[in-house]
């Protein structure tokens, strides 16, 4: 082991005092401009108060100038907003000490998108990329009193239609997404889902979407710290901190880097006037490693870099780092070419979902909503989210939360389902965008990999886009595709984060898993391809980064965007909240028809609208269950399962497992069970019942595996028990039975197979399997005894049924709150306890609580 470099633990203030013998002043001073904003339509006269950060839609709403765009069919009447130019303005005074700094910059963390910024009558900045951070030196333009900042947002059509008309060749986009006759989304570096998606409205907003501030500094400041973990093991972590400093003069400075107060390095150096790069190395002995959710703790070190100048200025930057080694392992193996994550030396199966922006209007996504969604992922035993390419580079808080909850991030760059321009200006713009964002996020332990785009390559090579062009043009298109994703982006990554894995697109192995030899797939045979759920079994790749099935939000959520007479599947309002129109152009019933077709196969026809919403969620959950079980059973050939999608950006029929209002759908409860570290996943094929146990635990588990077959009244018709030692981090079959023996002469429509792994008195894993689709089961109307007692954070609901109750659905009428479990099957005569945490106190819970099950839906 190398000798760790220790200097005595010296607080930066003390170093500074010893160094300068004078009062220490902070180099940096920030003043946020979030007050006194007004806005108006550019050709109008009247100013209205505005919120910054924010966007024009929420400002219009707050002023009572437009109705809620998510309600009813309002979206359709509000398209004019995106066609106008908008002006934002504020006037402000500034503190004298800010103006005394060597430099004062105006910093925009995000402007959406085409902005012309005027400061005290001088044009300071013209922007064209909502993802970039913009900063300009502006000290010479500022005064103490009566400053004015004006931002004019140009509409995307005026900006992009000329580009569209002058393009060297027409650019394709998937019809379902950019929901207009002329598709221009790809010309703007703006969240692509703003133009509409197959789960999202078309609301082309604009505005100051991230904070605006002045940053003044004197003498020297730390611009950026990149933390490189050169090698990590249990004994030590070699840490290189690469600092970028800016100095207003040539001067000697002292730089100190520490992790949790432990000095990693302490040095004196001479900085040149301008930008300076310096790398400081140090060792964290016996590091506490960062693990993903379910595998260990998520320890985060506070890494602090401090610079102190001879003339008494100091600046410091603190970043939270997780010490871990992570590799995306691509190499030849017995199946083909592997694709898996090795974390701290251990291959880890990725369990998770795809993530889209949580709102069309980003300023409404509060810290609480962020925490709720990432925590919900962790609660569902996920360890990965894929930040999908049609959305945004997320807020810092999102990555902080992923660090905290042990959720790795598969990070698409923001390109999706389209062809993109490749002129020099566009490519240069993209390069800046990648550099800005990667610099911002690269220290997070949660960032696992970068991926160039969502499905652009698949569309070009697989959806027939290439064939739309004459051969000579195909060559140009392909060259441009490569330029962006194989040259410009990798170069930008190489400058900023050269050691993280990058792949040009997702999927890299196509749309089905036959044969599953290399890379990730998006399997859409189920849903878009109308294949049966059983086909999930046949389409297992090395990593399934997308697959999924739609459902509707629950009734209380639907009630929030509809009037009572809209609550009918084919009403104009419900249809405008169903955006999947794939293949059959602009056919609004397309998505509904797909749900109906699968529903017909699996479930009995729901008796009314409310039941239909519920049944759609059960259907989605049952379908995705087949997929997750198939993927996990097939580890290590398959090492990842990310369903499409965890969240929604507005209330809509979609593939989400949590609706826009934060209600867990049936799928999210199912996912939590299916992503448990220990999963029993029986598979019935022909006459054979194979009981698999999949374990993500790193130690073998000893226990007893019971397979019992019960009739719906609880009578046991078959039982088999065997001691097992469950292999660590593996999937294997532990029992094989003949279906004929298991079922005997009993009617399959009245049986449930209960597979259970126990250790002593505790159940480690359990799964229920049926021999028929739910519609063919002879379920009786259950009598469910319900008792409610006061619990720690709410109520405890005790349930017991006289017969098997399938997909028990608890709901507290008129009350918002969270059920610890829902949509579960209740075995006869087995007590079950569910907690309910209401948002507000409930006067009469017995009265408000309703208990349904599948038989009540038909
Ligand atoms: C995928 C995604 C999205 C889309 C989803 C559902 O391919 O990448 O573009 O919303 O399918 O169709």
Q: 630 C-alpha to center of ligand 1: Å?
A: 21
pTM of the model: 0.96
Answer yes or no: is the C-beta of 199 below 6 A from any ligand 1 atom.
Answer: yes
d(CA 397, CA 107): 19
pLDDT of residue 581: 87
DSSP assignment, residue 141? Answer: G
Contact predicate 272/278, CB 8 Å: no
Atom of ligand 1 nearest to the CA of 388: 8
393 CB under 6 A from ligand 1?
Answer: no
CB of 534 closer than 8 Å to CB of 573? no
417 lines ligand 1 (CB under 6 A): yes
Bridge partners for 724 per DSSP = 703
Residues 6+ apart with CB under 8 A from 676: 381, 765
218 C-alpha to ligand 1 centroid (Å):
48
Q: Where are the alpha helices (DSSP H) in 64-135?
A: 74-77, 80-83, 96-99
Pick the closest to residue 461 from 513, 427, 511, 525 (CA basis). 511
The C-alpha atoms of residue 664 and residue 671 are separated, in whole angstroms, by: 10
Residue ID of nearest Cα to ligand 1 atom 3: 198
Nearest ligand 1 atom to the CA of 580 is 12
Distance CA 645, CA 352 (A): 9
Contact by Cβ (8 Å): 680, 756: yes
Name the residue among 365, 117, 102 with its Cα closest to residue 246: 102
Please indicate whether residue 644, judged by its CB atom, sits closer than 6 Å to ligand 1. Answer: yes
**Span from the CA of 54 to the centroid of ligand 1 (angstroms):** 27
Looking at residue 427, what DSSP letter applies? H
Report the nearest-CA residue for atom 9 of ligand 1.
417
Q: Which of 173, 410, 546, 549 to mutate to test the pocket of ligand 1 (most atoms within 8 A of CB)?
A: 546
Cα(553) to centroid(ligand 1), Å = 18
The residue whose CA has the least distance to atom 4 of ligand 1 is: 198
User: Per-residue pLDDT tens for 407-436?
Assistant: 999 999 999 999 999 999 999 999 999 999
> Does any ligand 1 atom lie closer than 6 A to the CB of residue 410?
no
Among 198, 388, 579, the mutation site with the greatest number of ligand 1 atoms within 8 A of its Cβ is: 198
Please give the number of the atom of ligand 1 that sits closest to the Cα of 527. 12
Q: How far is the CA of 83 from the centre of ligand 1 (A)?
A: 27
The three-class DSSP label of residue 793 is: coil
Residues of the chain whose pLDDT is less than 50?
A: 1-12, 14, 16, 18
Nearest CA to ligand 1 atom 6: 198
Tell whether the torsion through CA atoms of 743, 744, 745 and 746 is positive or negative.
negative
Query: Cα–Cα distance between 148 and 595 in angstroms, integer?
Result: 54
Q: Which pLDDT score, from 0 to 100, does residue 846 have?
A: 87
Q: What is the rounded distance in angstroms from the CA atom of residue 668 to the CA atom of residue 618?
A: 11
Instruction: Give CA torsion, residues 108, 109, 113, 117, to 10 deg.
Output: 0
Out of 387, 388, 644, mutate this one to test ligand 1's pocket (max ligand atoms within 8 Å of CB): namely 644
Q: Quote the ligand 1 centre to 611 CA distance (angstroms).
A: 27
CA-416 nearest atom, ligand 1: 9
Q: 696 CB under 6 A from ligand 1?
A: no
Cβ of 856 closer than 6 Å to ligand 1, yes or no, is: no
For atom 12 of ligand 1, which residue has the closest CA? 198
Backbone angles phi, psi at 503, to 5 degrees: -130, 150
Q: Is the CB of 197 under 6 A from ligand 1?
A: yes
Q: Which residues contact 25 (CB under 8 A, 6 or more apart)?
A: 218, 312, 313, 314
Inter-axis angle of helices 666-674 and 609-633, to 10 degrees? 20
Ligand 1 center to 309 CA (angstroms): 52
CA of 625 to the centre of ligand 1 (A): 19
175: phi then psi, degrees, rounded to nearest 5: -60, -30
Distance from the alpha carbon of residue 790 to the mean position of ligand 1, in angstroms: 43
Q: Read off φ and ψ for residue 585, nearest 5 degrees.
A: -45, 125
Locate all alpha helices (DSSP H) within 100-193, ordered by sequence: 156-166
Q: In this predicted structure, what is the pLDDT of residue 19?
A: 56
Atom of ligand 1 nearest to the CA of 199: 10
How many angstroms does the Cα of residue 656 sit away from the middle of ligand 1? 11
Q: Find how far residue 713's CA is from the centre of its chain.
A: 42
Question: Could you write out the DSSP letters of every residue in 259-319?
Answer: ETTEEEEEEEEEEPSEEEEEEEEEEEESPPBB--TTTS-B--EEEEEEEEETTSEEEEEEE
Residue 799 near residue 834, CB atoms below 8 Å = yes
Torsion angle of the four alpha carbons 165, 167, 170, 171, in this order, in degrees rounded to the nearest 10 = -110
How far, in Å, is the centroid of ligand 1 from the Cα of 657? 15
**Per-residue pLDDT at 666:** 98
Nearest CA-CA partner of 532 in 630, 466, 606, 404: 630
- What's the gap between Cα 849 and its chain centre? 32
Q: Which two structure tokens, joined as six digits, stand for 289? A: 């490693």
Distance between CA atoms of residues 19 and 382, nearest Å: 49
Question: Does the CB atom of residue 522 touch ligand 1 within 6 A?
Answer: yes
Mutate to test the pocket of ligand 1, among 185, 192, 417 (most ligand atoms within 8 A of CB): 417
Alpha helices in 29-130 (DSSP H): 56-62, 74-77, 80-83, 96-99
**Residue (of 735, 728, 686, 668) closest to 707 by Cα position:** 735
Measured from the CB, is residue 549 less than 6 Å from ligand 1?
no
- The CB of 178 under 6 Å from ligand 1? The reply is no
Largest CA distance in the chain: 92
Residue 731 Cα to ligand 1 middle (Å): 29
Cα separation of 655 and 644, whole Å?
A: 6
Please identify, by atom number, the ligand 1 atom nearest to the C-alpha of residue 389.
8
What residues does 661 pair with on adjacent strands? none
- C-alpha 6/C-alpha 3 separation (Å) is 9
* Residue indicated by tokens 């997702």: 506
Separation of alpha carbons 415 and 173, rounded Å: 11
- Give residue 843's pLDDT: 85
Q: Is the CB of 355 under 6 A from ligand 1?
A: no
Per-residue pLDDT, 2: 39
Could you tell me the distance, in angstroms and rounded to a whole number, from the CA of residue 548 to the centre of ligand 1?
9
> Ligand 1 centre and the CA of 199: distance in Å?
9
Q: Which residue is closest in CA terms to ligand 1's atom 1?
A: 546
Q: Is 454 in the pocket of ligand 1 (CB under 6 A)?
A: yes
Q: 415 CB less than 6 Å from ligand 1? A: no
Instruction: Identify which of 451, 454, 544, 647 to mutate to test ligand 1's pocket (most ligand atoms within 8 A of the CB).
Output: 454
Tokens coding 63: 């002023």
**Pocket flag, ligand 1, residue 546 (CB < 6 Å):** yes
* Residue of 206, 292, 221 whose CA lies nearest to 255: 221
> 379 C-alpha vs ligand 1 centroid, how far in Å?
24
Which residue's alpha carbon is nearest to atom 10 within ligand 1? 198
419, 172 in Cβ contact below 8 A?
yes
* 536: DSSP letter: G
Q: How far is it, in rounded angstroms, from Cα 451 to Cα 387?
A: 10
């Amino acid at each position: 082991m190398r000798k760790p470099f220790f200097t005595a633990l010296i607080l930066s203030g003390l170093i500074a005092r010893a160094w300068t013998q004078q009062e220490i002043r902070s180099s940096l001073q920030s003043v946020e401009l979030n007050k006194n904003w007004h806005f108006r339509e550019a050709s109008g006269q009247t100013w209205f108060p505005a919120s910054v950060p924010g966007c024009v839609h929420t400002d219009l709403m707050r002023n009572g100038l437009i109705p809620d765009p998510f309600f009813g069919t309002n979206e359709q009447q509000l398209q004019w907003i995106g066609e106008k130019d908008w002006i934002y303005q504020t006037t402000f005074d500034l503190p004298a000490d800010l103006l005394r700094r060597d430099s004062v910059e105006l910093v925009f963390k995000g402007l959406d998108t085409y902005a012309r910024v005027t400061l005290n009558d001088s044009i300071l900045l013209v922007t064209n990329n909502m993802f970039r951070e913009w900063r300009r030196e502006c000290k010479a333009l500022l005064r103490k009193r009566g400053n004015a900042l004006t931002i004019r947002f140009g509409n995307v059509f005026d900006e992009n239609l000329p580009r569209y008309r002058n393009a060297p060749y027409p650019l394709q986009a998937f019809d379902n997404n950019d929901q207009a006759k002329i598709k221009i989304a790809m010309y703007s570096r703006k969240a692509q889902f703003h133009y509409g998606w197959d789960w999202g409205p078309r609301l082309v907003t604009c505005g100051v979407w991230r904070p605006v501030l002045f940053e003044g500094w004197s003498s020297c400041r730390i611009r950026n710290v990149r933390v490189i973990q050169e090698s990590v093991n249990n004994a030590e972590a070699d840490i290189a901190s690469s600092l970028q400093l800016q100095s207003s003069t040539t001067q000697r400075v002292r730089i100190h880097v520490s992790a949790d107060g432990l000095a990693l390095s302490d040095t004196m150096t001479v900085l040149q006037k301008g930008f300076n790069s310096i790398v400081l190395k140090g060792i964290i002995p016996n590091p506490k490693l960062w693990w993903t959710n379910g595998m260990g703790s998520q320890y985060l070190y506070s890494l602090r870099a401090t610079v102190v100048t001879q003339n008494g200025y100091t600046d410091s930057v603190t970043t939270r780092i997780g010490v871990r080694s992570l590799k995306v392992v691509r190499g030849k193996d017995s199946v083909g070419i592997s694709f898996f994550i090795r974390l701290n030396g251990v291959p880890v199966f990725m369990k998770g979902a795809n993530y889209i922006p949580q709102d069309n209007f980003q300023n409404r996504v509060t810290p609480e909503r962020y925490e709720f969604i990432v925590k919900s992922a962790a609660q569902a035993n996920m360890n990965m989210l894929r930040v999908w390419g049609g959305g945004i580079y997320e807020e810092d808080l999102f990555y902080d939360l992923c660090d905290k909850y042990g959720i790795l991030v598969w990070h698409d760059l923001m390109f999706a389902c389209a062809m993109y321009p490749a002129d020099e200006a566009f490519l240069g713009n993209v390069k800046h965008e990648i550099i800005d964002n990667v610099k911002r996020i690269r220290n997070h332990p949660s960032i696992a990999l970068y991926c160039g785009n969502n499905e652009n390559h698949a569309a070009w090579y697989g959806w027939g886009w290439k064939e739309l062009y004459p051969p000579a043009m195909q060559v140009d298109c392909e060259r441009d595709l490569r330029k962006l994703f194989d040259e410009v982006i990798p170069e930008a990554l190489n400058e900023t984060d050269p050691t993280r894995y990058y792949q040009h697109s997702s999927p890299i192995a196509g749309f089905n898993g036959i044969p599953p030899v290399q890379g990730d797939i998006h399997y859409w045979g189920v849903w878009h391809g109308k294949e049966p759920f059983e086909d999930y079994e046949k389409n297992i790749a090395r990593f399934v980064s997308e697959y999924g099935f739609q459902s509707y939000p629950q009734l209380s959520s639907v009630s929030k965007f509809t009037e009572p007479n809209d609550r009918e599947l084919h009403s104009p309002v419900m249809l405008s909240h169903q955006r999947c129109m794939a293949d059959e152009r602009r056919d609004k019933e397309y998505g509904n028809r797909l749900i109906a077709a699968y529903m017909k196969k699996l479930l009995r026809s729901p008796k009314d609208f409310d039941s239909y919403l519920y049944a759609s969620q059960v259907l989605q959950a049952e379908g995705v269950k087949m997929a997750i079980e198939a993927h996990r059973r097939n580890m290590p050939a398959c090492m990842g399962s990310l369903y499409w999608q965890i969240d929604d950006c507005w209330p809509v029929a979609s593939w989400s497992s949590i609706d826009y209002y934060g209600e867990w759908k049936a799928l999210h409860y199912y996912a939590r069970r299916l992503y448990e570290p220990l999963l029993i996943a029986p598979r019935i094929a022909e006459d054979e019942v194979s009981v698999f146990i999949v374990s993500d635990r790193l130690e073998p588990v000893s226990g007893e595996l019971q397979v019992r077959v019960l009739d719906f009244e609880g009578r046991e018709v078959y039982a088999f028990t065997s001691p097992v030692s469950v292999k660590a981090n593996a999937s294997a079959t532990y029992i094989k039975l003949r279906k004929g023996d298991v079922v005997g002469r009993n009617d399959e429509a009245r049986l449930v197979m209960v597979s259970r792994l126990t250790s002593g008195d505790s159940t480690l894993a359990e799964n229920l399997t049926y021999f028929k689709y739910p519609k063919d089961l002879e379920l009786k109307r259950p009598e469910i005894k319900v008792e409610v007692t006061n619990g720690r954070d709410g109520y405890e609901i005790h349930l017991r049924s006289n017969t098997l109750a399938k997909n028990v659905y608890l709901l507290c009428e008129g009350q918002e709150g969270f059920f610890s479990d829902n949509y579960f099957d209740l075995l006869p005569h087995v007590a079950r306890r569910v907690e309910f945490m209401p948002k507000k106190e409930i006067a009469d819970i017995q009265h408000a609580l309703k208990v349904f099950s599948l038989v009540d839906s038909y």
